[in-house]
Chains A and B, each alone.
Chain A
Amino acid sequence: MGGRVGLKGTDNVLAQAKKLGAKPIASQKAGEMLKEFLADPQPHDIHWFTCARDMGNTELEKYGIKAKEIIYNPRAKTTTAEDTKKACQKFMEYQVDILVFCGGDGTVRDIFSVIDKKIPLLGIPSGVKMHSGVFGINTSATAKMLREFINKRLTIGDAEIMDLDEDLYRKDKWKVRLFGLAKGIVEPTYIQVGKASYESVSDDAVKDELADHIKDELEKYRDSLFLFGPGGTVDYIAKKLIIEHTLLGIDAIYQKQLVAKDVNEQQILALLKKYPKVKVILSPIGAQGFILGRGNLQLSPAVIKKIGIENIIVVATPSKLMHTPVLRVDTGDKELDRLFTTQEYLMVVIGYRLSRVVKIQTNSF
């Protein structure tokens, strides 16, 4: 047991926070996480790789971690996104097993641009907005996830990286799009294989089941146009069904054939005129369980109203639902949000012909 942990601390988030006049909280959050992590006895063979000063080492020093190595030294006192990226290069060279970092969606984006899917990421939430699927819900959850990962009780799975348009955000507007698919750590799904024995099932095996389910649905509703939403789960399903799919966008499929790729709102509305029956396949995106309003703005209120809530098929692996106990909807349209509120919950497909109800929450963050 044990492993190599890369800790990337406080850089541009800190700088950014300072710029906004906020208190620098990244160090504090990193500290909270470490304290919580060290509260339980740890395997002896964890080796930490980190960056100098505020970019990680300060906190590791503070908590008395000896088995560490500084592998990146930022030049300037105030670090930038470039430092993040350079540090990530180093973490790759040193082949760390997991990269723990402090920050928000902006930091993840920088990290992801270098790491891609090569190292699983785990975020200590300390940025302004955290939509990406690599964050623990709080510092204590992050500490627990790290511990469980090191003890091999959590496994590696897909996690969406989200991208917030900061300029629009400052104008009080939301525009979050899906940026990419990284590796995060997830709770394995267990199936009972005997009276008293369970086997953990890989994330992919569960998604295979979801794909089988969707395959049946395509067969069952042959006269319907299917819109495949963005995100890792739907992308996996589409690939499994040998349908070309855009990870970050929405594709239209009719009788198992791709009819339109990466469509925008106008194109969807045009398709809705041509195809009277439409179903849309969605999956919660990112850490907070959004099925609408984050990462799929093409599915505008006008589109959803036309398709009808009853034609939304939500798919999710049980491990994903574990972290997102509610499905969130933020359409920006009061009338539509009210329709969801009245509906209260949605049936979510969690396996082959297996579903459960999950509550819908419409208030935005």
Chain B
Amino acid sequence: MTQITKRNPTSFLKEEYEDLVKKNLEWNIHILESGSKPHSIVDGKEVIMLCSNNYLNLSNHPRLVKAAIAAAKKYGAGSGSVRAIAGTLKIHTEVEKRLAKFKRTEAALIYQTGFAANAGLIPQLVGEGDIVISDELNHGSIIDGVRLTKADRAIFRHRDVGDLEKVLREADKKYRRILIITDGVFSMDGDIAPMDKIVKLANEYGAMTYVDDAHGEGVIGEDGRGIGAHFHIEGKIDVEMGTFSKAYGVVGGLIAGSQDLVNFAYNKSRTWLLSGSHPPAVSGAQLAAIDVLESEPEHVKRLWDNTNYFKKELNSMGFNTGNSESPITPVIVGDSGKAKELSNMLFKEGVFALPIVFPMVARDKARIRMIMNAGLTKKDLDFALEKFETLGKKLAIIP
């Protein structure tokens, strides 16, 4: 006999998905048959990859692959537990030691992902009676981390230290702890937070500083040490948070700072305490990534050479590449429809670069956002540039 239920408990799944489809807001997942490579096979088509976060192409580096295999052979496929109980393998602690040394901080801690670091740590750093002061363009995972706190929140104008100081002055009057939080390299525009000035201000007001350097790790600073090294303020940012999933070519979140920070963080972050630890292969590859960064400076150099060449050529064609100070290269085309059209046309011509449209960016600032890759050759870049020039003219984006 059919049971009649009071309500259909799962009908919303289909309804909400279909609503997204109707509004053209659903994710169309692209399938990479090749792995993330400078030349990838995406949805069956070979394209030049300009939208992965694999800045240094380390995900394909033989040393990382070899180290992953070796670690799996030595420790097995999984870690068996959460870090706090029986899932801390020696190789996990090795990564943390090596990372702290590389970042020139007292200590470091690996989280399962960058998101887990933000969502786990931020709500522990502040609570009721505290305030988080956040750049208005911060990344979603910071925003979610901040939402989990009981602290009040204030935002300051993007990269505007003057505006930040005004908020600090107000916050100083009535809050216990103050946490300033910002992206290091901003993922949409590729501009960089003025961390030196922010740290200086924070010191004046007795505020903590927290930077999400996901797009800076492996990219900026000496040998890709990140934003601390970029501004020569290593160890002075209270929390340098980053990820192994972008330029490092693996996966995993990280924080670097004082031993006190690390002790506090792993005892308090629920994401860290309640998720299984990384499989040994991940840790092996992470260690190798740090090794490669230390011993093979050519990857970071090639990334920047490629970036500078690509931007220079785009600019000379008449494209607007915005205020980027990093390998994140936006080509601002204005109208959202045009950005989508350009992206589709580029894909057909063998260049994979995704459009970023309103409301992720302002209405008249729709763009193609590219992330340079150290593994691309000059020939690859010239190929992509030629397509940009032809299509840019066709769509009347450039003269």
Contacts and interface: CB of A to CB of B under 8 A. Distances in A.
Interface of A: 153, 190, 192, 194-198, 200, 344-345, 347, 351, 353-357
B152 A355 contact: yes
12 contacts: A190-B359, A194-B140, A197-B27, A347-B154, A353-B151, A354-B155, A355-B154, A356-B136, A356-B154, A356-B167, A357-B163, A357-B167
Contacts of A194: 140
Interface in B313-359: 356, 359
B363 interface: yes
B111 interface: no
Given A354-B153, A356-B155, A345 B359 contact: no
Ranked 5 nearest A-B pairs via Cβ = A190-B359, A198-B359, A357-B166, A354-B153, A353-B152
B contact face: mostly helix, strand, loop, or mixed: mixed
Contacts of A345: 166
A192 B156 CA distance: 17
A345 B168 CA distance: 12
B143 interface: yes
Interface centre among B27, B136, B143, B153 (most CB of A within 10 A): B153
Contacts of B356: 196
Interface residues of B, number: 19
Given A192-B143, A195-B140, A356 B156 contact: yes
B360 interface: yes
Contacts of A195: 140
B140 A357 contact: no
A344 B360 CA distance: 31
A153 B143 CA distance: 25
B170 to A, nearest CB: 5
A98 B152 CA distance: 39
Contacts of A355: 152-155
Given A190-B359, A196-B356, A197-B27, 19 more contacts: A153-B363, A192-B143, A194-B140, A195-B140, A196-B360, A197-B25, A198-B360, A344-B166, A345-B166, A351-B153, A353-B151, A353-B153, A354-B152, A355-B152, A355-B155, A356-B154, A356-B167, A357-B163, A357-B170
B363 A354 contact: no
A224 B311 CA distance: 58
Contacts of B25: 197
A351 B132 CA distance: 14
Contacts of B166: 344-345, 357
Nearest to A348: B154
Contacts of B140: 192, 194-195
A357 B163 CA distance: 7
A281 to B, nearest CB: 17
Contacts of A200: 359
Nearest to B26: A197
Contacts of B360: 196, 198
A347 B175 CA distance: 14
